[in-house]
Amino acid sequence: MTASEKNREFEFIEGLTAELSAKELIFPTSLNATMKIRKALSNPDISNDAVARIISAEPVLSAQVLRLSNSIIYNRTNKRISELRVATMALGFAAVRNVAISVGMKQLTEHKSTGQSSQRMEGLWTRSLRVAAMSYVVAKNLTRLSPDKALLAGLLHDVGKFYILNRARHYQDLFVSEKALWDLVDQWHGSIGAAILENWDISDDIRSAVMDCRSPDIPLAPKHTLTDVVATADFLDAHFVAKSIDVVNWKVIPPALQNLQLDQEKVEALMSETKGELGLILQAIA
């Protein structure tokens, strides 16, 4: 690496550090608007009519809420919903807040990304969707935890990586290789992710799941946590995509899978029984 390249890398890292220290993370305007909407929806006293008015200010969010309310997961009457007020009642506020996060994350992946940058973002987004859907299924079928919370935690589990890749667009000539870029992402995404979740007022249990899901030190415990769920979803997705699930040593599995009492037979049964459900969830949140 030349002296000029080292200076550019230092400039990029210095910028990330300054944004973290000042708690002034830089997001696209569209994402900021979506997150303000999500924050408003967190008011426990807000009325359904007010929620509908807030959502209507963001066309992309409005369209997604209406689409989700007409999905087979939430609408089993076959009566098409075309009003936001009715759609928010059908979904419930928790699901609407999750939709806001999903829309915001999607906006982040699409923000002025082109070429290789766009491919990186799209790949990361696709994996986040898969882990989110898997987290929902694991929580619903193996625990008493909220599937909606698990879905959100899965969707956010790599949020720090999204942020760094988005900022790295301004330093296209900095990284001499993909490895150099991903080494930096791996080094910084945890700290960035923690700052983002704090900025967005994400609940502590979801924050813990996002920050700890890849920790090798998840404690063995009889009480299931969101961290167990997301860590399991992340593990299973990686092996299914790599087609390496058949070579997993089930005698030496991560603590999260042990907490959920999973083995090869149970995993195969879970995937067989929930294949259709996984597909529907992916359609709903993509």
Q: At residue 115, does pLDDT exceed 70? A: no
Q: pLDDT confidence of 248, banded at 50, 70, 90?
A: very high
179 or 153, higher pLDDT: 153
- Residue 21: pLDDT band with limits 50, 70, 90: confident
Q: How confident is the model at residue 105 (pLDDT cuts 50, 70, 90)?
A: confident
Please give the pLDDT value at position 111.
59
Distance CA(24)–CA(22), nearest Å, equals: 5
Is 2's pLDDT higher than 80? Answer: no
What is the per-residue burial (b if ≥16 Cβ within 10 Å, else e) of 214-232? beeebeeeeebbbbbbbbb
Q: Which is more confidently placed, 155 or 114?
A: 155
pLDDT tens-digit readout, 46-70: 888 888 888 887 888 888 889 888 8
Q: Are 233 and 154 in contact (CB under 8 A)?
A: yes
Once rounded to an integer, what is the mean pLDDT over residues 115-139? 88
CA nearest neighbour of 92 among 106, 108, 74:
74
Percent of the chain with pLDDT over 70: 88
Least confident range of 36-45, 71-80, 223-232, 256-265: 36-45
Residue 3 pLDDT more than 70?
Answer: no
The average confidence (pLDDT) of the chain is 84
- Burial class from Cβ neighbours inside 10 Å (0-12, 13-18, 19+) for residue 83 reads exposed
pTM for this entry: 0.83
